Amino acid sequence: MISRYLIPLALSMAILLSNSGSVLAENNSTYKLASGDVININVFGEPDLSFGEVRLNDAGIFSYPFIGDVRAKGRTAAEIEQILTERLKGDYLVDPRVSVSILKYREFFISGEVKTPGGYPFQPGLTLRRAVALAGGLTERASEKRITIIRDQSPGRTPEPATLDTIVMPGDTITIDQGFF
Domain that holds residue 117: 107-178
**pLDDT at residue 165 is higher than 50:** yes
Banded pLDDT at 29 (limits 50, 70, 90): low
In the chain, the number of structural domains is 2
User: Residue 6 domain-assigned?
Assistant: no
User: Residue 33 domain-assigned?
Assistant: no
User: Percent of the chain beyond pLDDT 70?
Assistant: 83
The CATH number of the domain where 132 resides is what?
Answer: 3.10.560.10
Q: Which one is predicted more confidently, 107 or 179? A: 107
Mean pLDDT of the region 71-87: 94
Mean pLDDT of the region 150-156: 84
- Are residues 96 and 61 part of one domain? yes
User: Residue 69 domain-assigned?
Assistant: yes
The rounded mean pLDDT for the chain is 84
Q: β-pairing, 142-150 with 173-178?
A: antiparallel
pLDDT 10s digits, 32-44: 899 889 999 999 9
pLDDT 10s digits, 55-66: 999 999 999 988
Q: What pLDDT sits at residue 17?
A: 38
In order of 22, 75, 87, 122, 125, the CA distances from 81 in angstroms are 18, 10, 10, 23, 24
Banded pLDDT at 181 (limits 50, 70, 90): low
The b/e string for 99-110 (b: 16+ C-beta within 10 A; e otherwise) is: bbebeebbebbb
* SS3 of residue 92 by DSSP: coil
* SS3 of residue 152 by DSSP: coil
Helix or strand (DSSP H, E) at 100: strand 98-104
Determine how many CB atoms are found less than 10 A away from the CB of residue 33: 26
The CATH number of the domain where 87 resides is what?
Answer: 3.30.1950.10
- Are residues 80 and 51 part of one domain? yes
- Are residues 90 and 57 part of one domain? yes
Helix or strand (DSSP H, E) at 17: helix 2-30
Among 48, 74, 104, the domain boundary falls at: 104
In order of 62, 69, 97, 163, the CA distances from 74 in angstroms are 13, 15, 23, 27
